[in-house]
Amino acid sequence: MTSWEELVEQGNFSDAERPMLIATDGGGGLAPDCATRAGFYENWAEHLDGYQKNAKYQEALVYLQMYAMRAPTGEEEAARTAEVDRVQKIVDELEGD
């Protein structure tokens, strides 16, 4: 069986999404792997246009926001917040088109 990472390498994001979500589920009430999920949706967005591109960036943004909320204070918090701001800017620019 092909792993979700291999599907992504082939550019087959639609088929990779469900296995990625399963693989990154924290289970047992734990938070999902938000960084991996955000990266997945941001990568997918880069292969799309228009509304679909914006929708995937918005999904990435949600996971980045969740990831940033769990950051310890200091440099790591600042770095995660910068990532949120970066993707928010992309979403804002796409919505302005």
Domain positions in the chain are 4-96
Q: What is the mean pLDDT of residues 73-86?
A: 92
pLDDT tens-place string over residues 20-74: 999 999 877 667 899 999 999 999 999 999 999 999 999 999 999 999 988 888 8
d(CA 21, CA 41): 11
Please tell me the predicted confidence (pLDDT) of residue 1: 61
Residue 23: CB atoms within 10 A of its CB come to 15
Classified as helix, coil or strand, 15 is helix
Please tell me the predicted confidence (pLDDT) of residue 27: 78
d(CA 13, CA 76): 29
Q: What is the largest CA-CA distance in the chain?
A: 42
Residue linked to tokens 């993707």:
87
pTM recorded for the entire structure? 0.90
